[in-house]
Every structure is written in C-alpha cells, then in structure tokens.
C-alpha cells in the first residue's frame, strides 16, 4: 500500500510539472549543492533563452559609474572523428545551449542574471555590457570559434596534470579577431586595453572542473605574459588587463553565475 501511495504521488508530481505553462524560451534544471553547514540543497535554475537585447544603462552607471565592455569568446572543439566514433569523452565538444541563453545570463539584468548581481553589490554603479561584434547575432557580445583537435581537459592550473590554456586562448582570440574591432575600446589611446576599458571572457565547451566532471577547465582569472596583439592592440596582458575563463556545464546544467562573478571580479 505504501509503495502504491508513493507511485501515485510521483505520478501526480510528473503531471503537475508537465502541466505548468513555462514561459517559452526558458529552460529548467535541478541544481544540487551544499551550503556552509553541510546541508544538501536542491533548487531550480532558470535559463532565459529568449531573443537577446542589450540592457538599458542605468543613470547611476552613465553618471560616474563604469559600463565595462566585454566580449565572450565561446570555444568549441572539432575533435578527432576516429576518437569520437569510439566514444572518447575528450573528442568533439560543442555547446548545449544557444548563444541567447548565455547573452541573457551574462549581460541581462533579470533575476539570477549577472548584471543584477553587479548592480546590487555596486549600488548601481557597475555593469558589464556586450561589445560590438559581427558574429552570429550581431552585438550580443558573443563570438563562437571552433578549435581543431580534442578538448584538452585543462584540469587544475598549476598542478602536474593541469594544462596551461594560453595556446588555446590565443588561438581563439585570433579566430575571433575578424569579428570585432578592438580599437573602439582603447579610451585613452595608449595601445593597451585596461581592465576599465575592456574584458575578454572565454567560455569553454565541456565542464567546469570544480564541479567534478570531465573534460573541463577550472574557472579562473589569468593573463598573457607575452604580448598578444590584435588590430594593433595588446589584449590580455598581465600588466594591463587579463581575462576570465569558465567551463560551460556544471553537472547536468549550464554553469550558474557564482563562479563567473567570482573570477570575473578577480579579472576586473
């Protein structure tokens, strides 16, 4: 009788979920986590995948605040056909969600989106804004590039099994360069893009290593020790700017904004 009751309850939950009229263009995932006292939690992550439009700039930002232009470079991996056919998990990696999902998450101002957080903690004085670019949906701040070979499974930076991501990131920047004019963002005309002028975020197909999945990359803020020049401008140099980088997925869902906000804060 108890088993029958449990089955009936489960059936009711499934019917109730299926009957909900979720807003078109949104996706949902059950996110598990552990809070400071060790309690396991579950919550629903909502992804806004509706058509992206650039956010309005509040007067608190335009008058004495900082609107930081940023480009997101999505990195996919073409993989080896032979290895892919044998189920190699490090082979081809592409994004599960469309670019509008990520543009809304990073540049949006709605509940659970990154700019809502920045507006709250800066008392309305700071926001990130999509850089002008011509790839895919123009001016949504996202450029997607495809790199040859398998996902390298970067791992944890600095450890023996970790791989420095710089060769892949500079390759990605070179592929993204034709779609963006970096000269627009050198406000002081010194040939360098500083942290207050521009940011580059690398979003890597695959997983966030901190979430325990592979192939992945550890969320990080970093910089290039060599002078990487695009359109005649130095991008990502340690002395001026740097970058942030993240894995696309955390378990069964797209990465949420926690790690993104943390590492982007370091980069800024």
Q: Which residue has the higher pLDDT, 154 or 4?
A: 154
The confidence band for 21, taking pLDDT boundaries of 50, 70 and 90, is: very low
Find out whether 205 and 97 touch, Cβ atoms under 8 Å.
no
The arithmetic mean of pLDDT across residues 73-84, rounded, is: 79
Q: Do 39 and 94 lie in a common domain?
A: no
Query: What pLDDT score was predicted for residue 254?
Result: 94
Instruction: Answer yes or no: do 161 and 63 share one domain.
Output: yes
Domain co-membership, 125 together with 56:
yes
| pLDDT for residue 109 is more than 70 | yes
* CA atoms of 155 and 250, how far apart (whole Å): 14
Q: Assess whether 108 and 176 both reside in one domain.
A: yes
- Whether 142 and 39 share a structural domain: no
Are residues 102 and 174 located together in one domain of the fold?
yes
CB atoms within 10 A of CB 204: 30
Inter-CA distances, 221 with 243, 252, 253, 261, Å: 6, 24, 22, 11
Closest CA to 50 of 116, 126, 94, 113: 113
For the full predicted model, state whether its pTM sits above 0.85.
no
Give the pLDDT score at 231. Answer: 85
Task: Please report which confidence band the pLDDT of residue 158 belongs to, taking 50, 70 and 90 as the band edges.
Answer: low
Domain residue limits at 225: 49-267
Same domain, 42 and 148: no
Least confident of 141-145, 161-165, 175-179, 239-243: 161-165
Statement to judge: residues 80 and 183 lie in one domain: yes
Rounded to whole angstroms, the Cα distance separating 164 from 204 reads 14
Whether 245 shows a pLDDT value over 70: the answer reads: yes
Mean pLDDT along residues 113-136:
97
Q: How far is CA 117 from CA 110, 128, 152, in A?
A: 9, 11, 32
Alpha-carbon distances of 164 from 23, 135, 152, 204, rounded to whole Å: 41, 27, 10, 14
Residues 208 and 139 in one domain: yes
Helix (H) or strand (E) holding 202: strand 198-208
Phi, psi values for residue 126, rounded to 5°: -145, 145
pLDDT at 11: 42
Q: How much of the chain exceeds pLDDT 90, in percent? A: 54
Element (H, E) at 66: strand 66-77
Across the range 60-84, mean pLDDT stands at 88
Same domain, 124 and 229: yes
* pLDDT of the residue at 84: 53
pLDDT of residue 90: 72
Q: What is the pLDDT of the chain when averaged over all its residues?
A: 82
Higher pLDDT residue, 212 or 168? 168
Tens of pLDDT, residues 172-230: 999 999 999 999 999 999 888 988 999 999 999 999 998 888 889 999 999 988 777 88
For the segment 250-260, what is each residue's pLDDT rounded down to a tens digit? 988 999 999 99
SS (H, E, C) 203-244: EEEEEEHHHCCCCEECCEEECECCCCEECCEECCECCCCCEE
Number of domains comprising the chain: 2
What is the pLDDT averaged over residues 96-118?
Answer: 96
Tokens of 262: 């943390």
Query: Are 101 and 201 contained in the same domain?
Result: yes
Query: 17: pLDDT confidence band, cut at 50, 70 and 90?
Result: very low
CA gap 74, 143 in Å, rounded: 6
Residues 203 and 246 in one domain: yes
């Amino acid at each position: 009788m108890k088993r029958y009751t449990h089955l009936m309850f489960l059936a009711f939950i499934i019917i109730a979920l299926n009957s909900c009229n979720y807003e078109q263009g949104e996706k949902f995932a059950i996110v598990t986590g552990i809070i400071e006292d060790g309690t396991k939690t579950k919550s629903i992550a909502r992804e806004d995948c509706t058509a992206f439009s650039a956010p309005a700039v509040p007067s608190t930002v335009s008058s004495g605040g900082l609107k930081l232009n940023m480009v997101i470079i999505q990195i996919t991996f073409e993989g080896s056909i032979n290895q892919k056919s044998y189920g190699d998990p490090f082979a081809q990696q592409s994004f599960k969600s469309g670019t509008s999902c990520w543009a809304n998450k990073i540049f949006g101002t709605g509940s659970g989106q990154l700019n809502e957080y920045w507006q709250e903690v800066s008392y309305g004085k700071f926001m990130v804004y999509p850089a002008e670019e011509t790839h895919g949906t123009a001016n949504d701040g996202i450029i997607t590039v495809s790199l040859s070979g398998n996902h390298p499974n970067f791992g944890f930076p600095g450890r023996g099994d970790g791989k420095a991501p710089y060769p892949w990131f500079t390759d990605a920047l070179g592929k993204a360069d034709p779609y963006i004019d970096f000269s627009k963002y050198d406000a002081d005309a010194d040939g360098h893009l500083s942290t207050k002028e521009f940011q580059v975020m690398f979003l890597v197909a695959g997983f966030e290593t901190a979430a325990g999945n592979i192939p992945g990359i550890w969320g990080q803020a970093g910089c290039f020790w060599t002078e990487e020049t695009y359109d005649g401008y130095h991008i990502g140099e340690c002395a001026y700017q740097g970058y942030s980088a993240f894995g696309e997925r955390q378990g069964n869902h797209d990465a949420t904004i926690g790690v993104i906000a943390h590492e982007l804060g370091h980069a800024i």
